[in-house]
Every structure is written in structure tokens, then in C-alpha cells.
Amino acid sequence: MIESLQHLPPAADSHAALASQFTDLAPPLSARQAAIEAARCLYCYDAPCMNACPTGIDVASFIRNIHDQNVNGAAYGILKQNILGGSCARVCPTEILCEQACVRNHDAEAQPVRIGLLQRYALDHAHFDGHPFQRAPSTGKTIAVVGAGPAGLSCAHRLAMLGNDVVVYEAREKPGGLNEYGIARYKLTDDFAQREVAFLLQVGGIAIEYGRVLGSNLHLHDLQARYDAVFLATGLGASRKLGLTGEDAPGLMAAIDYIAALRQATDLSKLPVPRRAVVIGAGNTAIDIAVQSRRLGAEEVTLVYRRGQEAMSATGHEIDIAKANGVVVRTWAAPLDILLDESGRVHGMRFERTRMDGERLVRTGETFEIAADAVFKAIGQTADEATFADPIARELEREGDRVRVDASFRTTLPGVYAGGDCVAPGQDLTVQAVQHGKLAAIAIHNDIQTQAEAAWPT
């Protein structure tokens, strides 16, 4: 999809100069800083930070281990609940989860314990002799996992720990899902996503097949027939449409596609970079593409949202990052027309101002235009309908574009489970996807064992 911008000039700086713009957003703590920060924790008995963590990490316990210089113990406690704790420490919106719940986050101090950075410190400095978790005795069962993103990998790891064999089917050429392809380059730097997957696979019992696409060269009815259970972790692979004429014109593309190209680029100086860019959206992906465009050299980047800033799904922390990087945020404006030049390429957008009429968003009839060489749409992801192309997959009950599951992540098809971004309800958070995978694995294992016991002759 990056071809949509190939008519634009490449970045003006060298790769080295551009790479310097994509170092850690939040630099890691030194040993001294970690010790001081750990000492600030009150080790609350009822630990509201733990209750706020979607994966249930015992935050007070791992911080106390850091304070006691037991880094391995801290890391083990984190990984026991969240095997992708390293990436979550970097990308998780701790400011609205554990750190928001921290008892030190009040008017007098207004500075919660920096839990995310402490979690990163523990996992970056732990040294295990081999993988920290051992597999249970073999169950003789094999489960198929579709998708090697956070939910799929988390599920595969927990199933393997419980003694099952797992085959993961991944559409792309690398594992990691959004951690590899969809996170801002300054949040997950270097090859961390791949190193984390390699660590996870050390548990054993997990095989990954690449280039396998559900609905194309992989079919649900075959998986049902071959495996003891199937876990779907396909994510939301398609970008939503604006529904405007000219949406396929050169210069307009999905933000997630450009972010993927940026993350995979070995030479940043060869990426096409607009001089002026418009970003349509209000979530963290919109912030990621806007900030990264600026860091690649875009002179003007304007983020436009149809409602007010208070309604944006991006956190206040993310919005502050955008503004600090020179991104202009314009609210109360809805996309109206894509403006094309004589060659049929994007050269701007026309917007219509909006307002609230009671509880209803309405258009005012007043319009304005923003000149742009590129328009990035970050208005959310939806399911790729090709995923549900075969007859069996079409039988999955869905809520909108997401698969309906029960409390144990069972779908309406026997032996088929689902989790992560592809299920309803979901928050589209890496940490929540990890939890889905972990809980689904436990449910799958228990269901298989129950079925085996019921079939055992008395």
C-alpha cells in the first residue's frame, strides 16, 4: 500500500539522522533511578494498580522485588501473568490503567509510581538460565492458533505450558502482529518485538507457519478436522473506509499501512514523505502516524477529528506528544471531499464544521480546506471479510465486524475459540489481547481435558 505515496519525494535526511528521531520515547531507568522509584511504592495491601492491570500482574510484589534487588523474581512475577510484559511495558497506556490507579496519583503529589518503566527495568535486566517456565507433561493434544499477534502468541505460550502442542498460522512473514507492524517506531525500538517472540518460543511445543491466510490458503473446516481445538486471533486487518469519492487516489492511504512500512524500513531515507499531511482520526494510531510524519520531515501535519478533544480516544498523554512534536489538532470537523490535482493525486481535503445538537452530532454547512500532499486515514480497523470466506467461518456469530464469544472465549462453533481485537467486546489494547489469549488457553485446555475424561471408558 505504500505505493500510494511513491510519487512523493523521499525523506530529506540521511538514515542515521532520521533514525535518531526514533529512539525510545521514554528512555529506560538506570539501576539508581529504578531503586529510587521502587522506594516510592507503598506496597498497598489492596493494590489498586493490580486491579487496574488487565493481565492481573501483582504490581506491588514485583516492585518490592526490585527494591530488594531481586530482579529475576520481579521479572518472573510479571511474566507469569503477562508473557509479553516487555512490549506491554513500552506500549501499554499505563497513564489510564495502573498508574492512574496509583495511590500517589493525587493532587498533592500528582506523580504516580512509574510502573511501566519499572516493569521494563525488571524484564530488561533479568537473567534466566533457560526459559523461566517449564512445560507440563504432554496431553497428547494439538491446538491450532490463527494469528501470531499478542493474543495468539499469549494463547500458544500458555497452551504449551499446560502440556499441549501448538501450531500457529500467521499471514505475514514475521510474527508479532501489531507489536511488529503497527506500533510507532519510537515505542518499540530496534528488533525488540522479534526478540520477545524468540524468548516466548523457548518454552517449546510451538511451531509457526508463515504465509497462511484464513479464507485463502487456510480454511476453518480443515482446522476443525485436524486439531483438538482452534483459537482465532486474526485481529482487525482492514482499514475502515471514509466513503468519499477519490478514496483510492494516490496520496491517500491507511495510517496503519504506512506505519507498517516505516517499522520494516531498513533505510528510512528512502521512505516517501509528504511535505504537508492530513491525518483523519482521534485514536492512538492517528497520533502515531502524525508524530512519525513530523519526525520523518513533514513540515505541516494536521490531525482532524469530527468531535471535540475530550471525545478523542487517544489518551491525554498521547495528545500531548503530538502537540510537542508540532502536530496541529483541529476538532469539530468532518471529512467532506478529497481534493485532487489535474493528475488525479491528492492535494488536500475539504471539511465541514460540526457541532453537538443535544446528544447528536450535526454538520453546520460551513466548510474549509486544508492543503495536503498526503492524507492518512486512522478511523479504525475492521475485520477483513475474506477471513470469513469459507462456509464454516460464515457460521461464526458476530457483533458487527467482531466475533461473538462467551466468557470463556468460545465462539458459536464447537471447538473454536477467539480472542484479541477480533472479538466483541474489545479495547484494542495489546495488554488486553494478551489476557484474552491467556484466559482462552486455560479454557481450551480445561475443555479438552473434560472431554477426554468424559470419553474415557469406565
pLDDT in tens, 328-348: 999 999 999 999 999 999 999
Distance between CA atoms of 424 and 124, rounded to whole angstroms? 33
The reported pLDDT for the residue numbered 325 is 97
Q: Which of 158-167, 308-317, 382-391 is most confident?
A: 158-167
Averaged confidence pLDDT in the chain = 94
Q: Is the pLDDT of residue 280 over 60?
A: yes
The reported pLDDT for the residue numbered 454 is 66
The reported pLDDT for the residue numbered 457 is 59
The pLDDT tens digits of the residues spanning 91-140 come to: 999 999 999 999 998 777 779 999 999 999 999 999 999 899 999 999 99
- What percent of the chain has pLDDT above 90? 88
Phi, psi of 45 (to 5 degrees): -65, -45
If you average pLDDT over residues 159-164, what whole number do you get? 98
Residue spans in the chain of domains classed CATH 3.50.50.60: 142-236+383-455, 239-381
Residue spans in the chain of domains classed CATH 1.10.1060.10: 31-125
The pLDDT tens digits of the residues spanning 305-316 come to: 999 999 999 999
The reported pLDDT for the residue numbered 12 is 92
- What percent of the chain has pLDDT above 70? 97
The reported pLDDT for the residue numbered 426 is 61
pLDDT band at 361 (very low <50, low <70, confident <90, very high): very high
The reported pLDDT for the residue numbered 1 is 60
The reported pLDDT for the residue numbered 124 is 97
Query: Which CATH code is given to the segment(s) 239-381?
Result: 3.50.50.60
Query: Which CATH code is given to the segment(s) 31-125?
Result: 1.10.1060.10
Give this prediction's pTM: 0.94
The pLDDT tens digits of the residues spanning 182-240 come to: 999 999 999 999 999 999 999 999 999 999 999 999 999 999 999 999 999 999 988 99
pLDDT band at 450 (very low <50, low <70, confident <90, very high): confident
Q: Is the pLDDT of residue 455 over 90?
A: no
Q: Is the pLDDT of residue 427 over 70?
A: no
Fold of the domain built from segment(s) 142-236+383-455: FAD/NAD(P)-binding domain (3.50.50)
